[in-house]
Amino acid sequence: MNFCKYKEIIEEGDTVILYLGFNNMHAITVKTGETFQTRYGALRHSDLIGIKFGDKVQCPKGYLITLHPTPELWTVNLPHRTQILYTTDISLVTMQLDLRPGSIVVESGTGSGSLSHAIIRSIMPIGHLYTFEFHSQRAALAEQEFQIHGISQYVTVAHRDVCSDGFGIENVADAVFLDLPCPWVALPSAKKALKQQGGRLCSFSPCIEQVQKTCEKLTELEFVELSTMECLVRNFDIRTISLPTADLGPHSGEAANNPCKQEAVLMDNCDADKVQKTSNDENLKDKSDQTKVSTRYHQDLIGQKNETSFCFKSGVPATQMPGHTGFLTFATLYPQ
């Protein structure tokens, strides 16, 4: 299968995302004869072969949905071999490095392959990713995953310590990404890897001291347009709020908006007493209804509308949200 090109039917060997809920998903590789245990009971892999991505699959105690894998879904379901970059940071990296089909990108280190999948999706079908990992086992596992996911033709995986040995390539890359404990050590080699007409560089560091040393080295190597960013998600809980309509007098509300009752208010003086009595009765009714609504003031009333109230949407920040992940430092190298 191909992570970056959709298909319709699930086949043996495909990677499938099993969706049981917003925060409950699992990635499996379909193999005949195997069984996957879920909260709704056992799921036989053979039951998935031949059905469509997006179909519901019935389990003994419920159902799940089969999703086609994407880089975003893989990021939240991949087996963690290292700390990874998530979609918020990945989106900023992709934009700032100006990745597009045909771009040549150098990455170090590979880690769990979260960013690598997103880069490949951005640069295919004629671009290429050179990714370097100093840990031999992680490099081998990443290469195996790229093969299974059908994107190996867009990536070259190398087991190499770029801090001590450099990248070993020169004048090939449009962009370089560094996720290293000492990125400033690899910067001279990263500069050589960029094309002679220049390119963009990004370094991910969790500590501000790493950022400071990296910026000093970038300036020394004649990189320009240095900028450091932090990208965080701020979640809001959307609610529907109901408030009572203001009482502005006996002819407000329903009477003011009803043409028939407007005519009644303008009747001859001979009917004035009758009109006044009718208006007073309606006003008393409005006040009675407002008393009932007041007990629900500032509460979520989705689907519970009242004649004497109005509803509006309100966003409330979540009480707990993910915090700092790391700093992204970007720089530009102009043509030499």
Binding residues for S-adenosyl-L-methionine, as ranges, are: 112-115, 133, 179
Contacts of 303 (CB under 8 A, 6+ apart): none
Instruction: Locate 312 and state its tokens.
Output: 């509006």
Residue count of the chain: 336
Q: Which residues are annotated as a binding site?
A: 112-115, 133, 179
**What are the φ/ψ torsions at residue 95 (nearest 5 degrees)?**
-70, -50
DSSP strands (E only) in 39-196: 41-44, 56-59, 62-67, 104-108, 128-133, 155-159, 175-178
Closest CA to 60 of 35, 42, 34: 42
For residues 92 and 328, is the Cβ–Cβ distance under 8 A? yes
Alpha-carbon gap, residue 255 to 265, rounded angstroms = 9
The number of CA neighbours under 13 Å toward the Cβ of 24 is 9
Alpha-carbon gap, residue 212 to 233, rounded angstroms = 24
CA distances from 274 to 109, 249, 262, 330 (A): 85, 17, 14, 77
Instruction: Locate 253 and state its tokens.
Output: 């509300």
